[in-house]
């Protein structure tokens, strides 16, 4: 039997949820499935937890003389009592007897009995954790508005972790931990950049008891057992403190606090955190949470916190808080990620990148980077999302501290001060599509296309090997004429004109892959292949960027999307070699693999390379179609001039007059 992949185990967990759906809400069957999963995993894989006799799965399946709900409760109690350091309080609210009927419990036990969960049955060591995290996403979708209380979309989590870049040996803290996704992603980032097995001890706090239990369990199922995730209200009573009573500080803080929560100043312990002032309490705790992040960063630390856009521009006390944060160089970047990205709210959100008391790097001179990524969000049916290429562009602009028209801009402290410390992103970066140039009156009256409009787009045509002579005939120094074949005929020829350069570019991409295959093959089975990502992306971009057809962000984006989609194939290649990848493909198709190892290696590299090349082909084709659209837009504006319209009108009038005369109608005398 082929080992279970994360998506296969996730489907099995969804199947368990289907047995309960409609009988309880998502948060309740989330807890029931979590308990079942831990019991089965602990029994199937000796050593991950101390397993008392009464918690063994074989005893649960073979129960006699007691109600099944009671048997399951006893098993969980015994498991928790034997593993207090990692499970104490996690299943306190779960009672199988009260929550689930006998028929459903029996069906659940039978369902889990057919899911093998030992390490030998799993494709990777983190399969159980990843499948559980996927199921949390589905539970959040089912929970609607309440889903946002415990689950942050993983694309946002990945973006924030990549902005902060936690390193091996650093402390990572999430003061509003939810289901623990931020801490887990930080661990995965460190593993993929420093190697698996590096030391990692996360810290977190969560006010909701059920969500806190989910976070603890999520960390456990990802193999993280040495963290400190506590239950309590972070704003009023932060629990991570030193022996002298001072709050503990961390290298990295990553968090998504509840939006616009209420608070009372008199209930807040450690008021020294609010160095920059107090906002009104009614629904205005956002900047209080930001100040908590600032207060818990080490002097050289970096943090990222999600807030609603209101914190950027609300007046009064909040404006003074922003002033203090900006003047102390504690704010490095403001990144707008658009509306309807988070479960349970459609309001637009932003990410603030913050610095410890040492402030932003000296070479940034107190400036703030604004990124307007609202157009980088992919519109979904019920919720918008960030795709890997969107995340890559945001991270690239941040790391390069880049000015990109309509996307990002470095803004001086003086300009922010002149705007009364209003940080509204659109004030600094307008992401609206560029307006069309004003209609050229001369061209509209007499025909032709303004040379200035063509010159502005000429470079993009040129990189596809298309000259102005291929598209226009000369007409004086300031205008060009459409060719005699007509605008539409010329537009239809553009793909043919671009074909040579397009083919050369794709061949160049193929050549890069051929030169890269050996590096990937050499690392297959080494456990180090995933660490190759930054170098491969840089090589890919540097190799193809001089061609000019795709820009650096498009190249990085297409590579990022390919890597993300093929991540598990690459991980399987890294751990099980080429045959492991062939095996997972065959299993996904419901087939068996017969390829020997030598042919498997060739097949895997061919499929991976073909996939990357096809993605590049689609992106290049979209760019070429953009040229067709530009040319047609000139036709819409200028192909028919006023002179042409007058001539057509005169010709039509003459034809009508001739026809009437032929019919014997001579009109009035």
Question: For the segment 63-89, what is each residue's pLDDT rounded down to a tens digit?
Answer: 877 789 999 999 999 999 999 999 998
| CA–CA separation, 621 and 441 (whole Å) | 34
* Three-state SS at 8: helix
Rounded distance between C-alpha atoms, residue 120 and residue 140, angstroms: 30
| Residues paired with residue 473 on neighbouring β-strands, in sequence order | 481
Phi-psi region of 308 (alpha: psi -120 to 50; beta: other; left: phi over 0): beta
Per-residue pLDDT at 252: 97
Output the six-digit token pair for 152: 């942050």
Determine the pLDDT at residue 159. Answer: 95
Q: What's residue 62's pLDDT?
A: 86
Return d(Cα 418, Cα 202) in angstroms, integer: 41
For 338, phi then psi, to 5°, come to 85, 175
| Residues whose CB falls within 8 Å of the CB of residue 31, separated by 6 or more in sequence, listed in order | 91, 93, 94, 99, 210, 213, 214
Write phi, then psi, for 306 (nearest 5 degrees).
-90, 135
Note the pLDDT tens digit of each residue in 570-603: 999 988 888 888 888 887 776 666 677 778 889 9
Whole-number Cα distances in Å, 431 to 296, 457, 468, 488: 34, 20, 30, 31
Contact 41, 128 (CB under 8 A): yes
d(CA 347, CA 160): 19
Instruction: Tell me how far the alpha carbon of residue 304 is from its chain's centroid.
Output: 15
Give the separation between CA 415 and CA 639, rounded to whole angstroms: 45
Burial class (CB in 10 A: 0-12, 13-18, 19+), 96: buried
What is the pLDDT, as a whole number, of residue 576?
Answer: 85
**Polymer length of the chain:** 669
Extract the residue ranges of the chain whose pLDDT is less than 70. Answer: 1, 22-27, 140-150, 197, 343-345, 380-382, 590-594, 640-651, 666-669
Q: Are residues 268 and 236 in contact, defined by beta-carbon separation less than 8 angstroms? A: yes
């Amino acid at each position: 039997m082929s080992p279970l992949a994360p998506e296969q185990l996730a489907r099995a967990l969804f199947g368990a949820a289907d047995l309960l759906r409609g009988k309880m809400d998502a948060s309740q069957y989330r807890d029931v499935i979590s308990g079942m999963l831990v019991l089965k995993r602990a029994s199937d894989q000796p050593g991950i937890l101390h397993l008392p006799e009464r918690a063994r799965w074989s005893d649960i399946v073979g129960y006699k003389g007691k109600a099944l709900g009671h048997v399951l409760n006893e098993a969980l109690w015994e498991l928790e009592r034997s593993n207090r350091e990692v499970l104490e309080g996690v299943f306190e609210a779960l009672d199988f007897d009260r929550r689930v009927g006998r028929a459903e419990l029996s069906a659940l036990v039978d369902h889990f009995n057919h899911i093998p969960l030992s390490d030998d049955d799993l494709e990777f060591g983190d399969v159980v954790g990843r499948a559980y995290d996927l199921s949390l996403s589905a539970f959040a979708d089912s929970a609607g508005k309440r889903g946002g209380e415990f689950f942050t979309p993983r694309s946002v989590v990945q973006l924030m972790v990549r902005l902060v870049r936690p390193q091996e040996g650093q402390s990572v803290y999430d003061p509003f931990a939810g289901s623990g996704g931020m801490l887990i992603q930080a661990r995965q980032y460190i593993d993929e950049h420093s190697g698996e097995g590096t030391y990692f001890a996360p810290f977190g706090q969560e006010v909701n008891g059920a969500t806190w239990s989910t976070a603890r369990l999520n960390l456990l199922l990802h193999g993280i057992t040495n963290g400190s995730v506590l239950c309590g209200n972070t704003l009023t009573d932060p629990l991570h403190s030193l022996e002298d009573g001072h709050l503990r500080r961390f290298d990295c803080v990553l968090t998504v606090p509840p939006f616009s929560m209420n608070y009372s100043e008199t209930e807040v312990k450690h008021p020294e955190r609010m160095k920059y002032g107090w906002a009104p309490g009614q629904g205005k705790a956002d900047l209080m949470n930001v100040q908590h992040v600032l207060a818990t960063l080490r002097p050289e630390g970096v943090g990222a916190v999600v807030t609603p856009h209101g914190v950027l521009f609300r007046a009064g006390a909040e404006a003074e808080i922003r002033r203090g944060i900006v003047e102390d160089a504690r704010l490095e970047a403001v990144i707008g990620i658009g509306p309807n990205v988070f479960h349970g709210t459609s309001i637009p959100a932003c990410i603030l990148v913050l610095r410890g008391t040492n402030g932003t790097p000296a070479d940034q001179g107190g400036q703030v980077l604004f990124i307007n990524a609202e157009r980088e969000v992919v519109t979904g049916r019920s919720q918008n999302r960030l795709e890997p290429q969107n995340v890559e562009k945001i991270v690239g602009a941040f790391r390069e501290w880049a000015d990109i028209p309509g996307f990002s801009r470095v803004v001086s402290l003086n300009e922010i001060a002149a705007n009364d410390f209003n940080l509204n992103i659109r004030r600094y970066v307008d992401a609206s599509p560029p307006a069309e140039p004003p209609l050229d009156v001369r061209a509209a009256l007499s025909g032709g296309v303004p040379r200035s409009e063509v010159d502005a787009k000429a470079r993009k045509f040129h990189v596809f090997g298309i000259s102005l002579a291929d598209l226009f005939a000369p007409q004086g120094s300031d205008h060009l004429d459409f060719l005699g074949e007509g605008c539409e005929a010329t537009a239809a020829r553009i793909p043919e004109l671009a074909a040579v350069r397009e083919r050369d570019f794709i061949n160049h991409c193929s050549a890069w892959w051929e030169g890269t295959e050996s590096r990937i093959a050499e690392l297959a089975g080494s456990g180090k292949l995933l660490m190759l990502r930054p170098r491969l992306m840089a090589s890919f971009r540097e190799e193809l960027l001089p061609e000019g057809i795709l820009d650096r962000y498009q190249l990085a984006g297409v590579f990022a999307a390919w890597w993300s989609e093929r991540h598990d194939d690459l991980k399987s290649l890294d751990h099980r070699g080429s045959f492991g990848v062939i095996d997972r493909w065959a299993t996904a198709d419901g087939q068996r693999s017969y390829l020997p190892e030598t042919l498997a290696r060739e097949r895997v590299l061919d499929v991976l390379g073909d996939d990357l090349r096809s993605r590049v082909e689609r992106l290049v084709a979209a760019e070429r179609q953009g040229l067709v659209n530009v040319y047609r837009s000139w036709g819409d504006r200028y192909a028919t001039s006023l002179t042409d319209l007058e001539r057509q009108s005169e010709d039509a009038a003459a034809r009508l007059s001739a026809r009437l005369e032929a019919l014997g109608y001579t009109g009035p005398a």
